[in-house]
Every structure is written in C-alpha cells, then in structure tokens.
Amino acid sequence: MINAAGQLLLRGRSRGVRPMFSSGLADRSFSSSASSSRKLDGKVAVITGAASGIGEATAKEFVRNGAKVILADIQDDLGRAVAGELGADAASYTHCDVTVEADVAAAVDLAVARHGRLDVVYSNAGIAGGAPPATLAALDLDDYDRVMAVNARSMVACLKHAARVMAPRRAGCILCTASSTAVLGNIGPLAYSMSKAAVVGMVQTVLEV
C-alpha cells in the first residue's frame, strides 16, 4: 500500500538518536486486512500530499487503524473534504507547501499542539514534472529545480522537523515515498527519476546520523 523508500525508527542511543532502517515494516504494520484493526490506536501522524492519491489512501488507512492524522497539502478544497470525510476527531487539514520549510515545521507543530505527540511523519508529497526531454542536452533545469524542491528537498525538511520532535521522546517513525524509477533509471520523466533516486540516497545517508 505504502510506496516508501525507507522507514526510520528513531531510538535513543548514547550519542543521541540513531535511526534504524527496517525494510518492509511499513507493509507489516500498516497493511489492510480483514483481521487487522486499530493497530495505530493512540498514534498521531503527519502526512504530506494527503489530499489525494497515495497520501489520501494512507490517511484513511491510518484512521481506520485508530490513528489521528494531520493532512498536509496545498490542495485546500480536496484536503478539507478528506478531513471532513474522516471526521474532526480523527483528522485535521492544514495548508502546507512542502517547498517552504516553515510550512513543514508548522504541520509538525500542529500535530503536537493538537494531540500532544507525534509518532509518524509520512513525507509523501511529490510531482512528476514536465515531459521527458528528447535528449539529456535538452533537460529543462528550471523544471528540474521545481521537481527536486518538491520531491527531494521537502523530504529533508520532513526528516529534520520530524527528528526535532521525535528525538526528545526517543521514538517515532519517518516514511518517505520513492519510486521504482529511483533504481530502474529513466522509465519516467528524467527530473522525476533523479528526484526519487535522491530520496533513496538521503534516507540511506541519514541512517547513521
């Protein structure tokens, strides 16, 4: 269900917080089945790109399993509609442009202010970018910068501000959406594939921070 490049389980160590990679844990923990329910009772999550697509589906699954969610997106009408469908007790919508660090920080702070804790940050917002260039020489760097800002830099902001809140508690989970294009190469728009490769690299890099 969740197309995640990696999951960081933040656990306290002598030198601070040491993230541990656990592949497949997202599927085991959050996948839907007839026999599973309320797996996330008492948990609080921030989900970016939650007004539609994977983010919306994830938010609904989290709520079905008992979590409280902050839906962070720039699609205000859609986001408010999803929050309304999930119910005021379970979901809140906040406008969040993930390319603006202050917006990401505010979404994290909203979760803590409203629910007193933050257990999961799912950095999911992303864009495909423009049409693939005919040649590498034709790559539009303005489009590249825009895609990287949304798909890669925003995830650094999510990692940073999730850790800011989770590290003192020595507990938490960070998920980042990547893509098969990250490892299979140019099977999608060039800038998109590069951005998703960056996501995989940054998750691997911060594992030992």
Residues labelled as active-site residues: 179, 192, 196
Instruction: For tokens 């760097």, name the residue.
Output: 141
Phi, psi of 176 (to 5 degrees): -130, 130
Instruction: For tokens 């098969």, name the residue.
Output: 180
CA distance 93 to 144: 29
Phi, psi of 106 (to 5 degrees): -65, -35
CA distance 129 to 151: 10
Collapsed DSSP state (helix, strand, coil) of residue 192:
helix
Q: Answer for the pair 206, 19: CB distance below 8 angstroms, yes or no.
A: yes
How many CB atoms neighbour CB 89 within 10 A?
Answer: 8
Structure token digits, residue 28: 């085991």
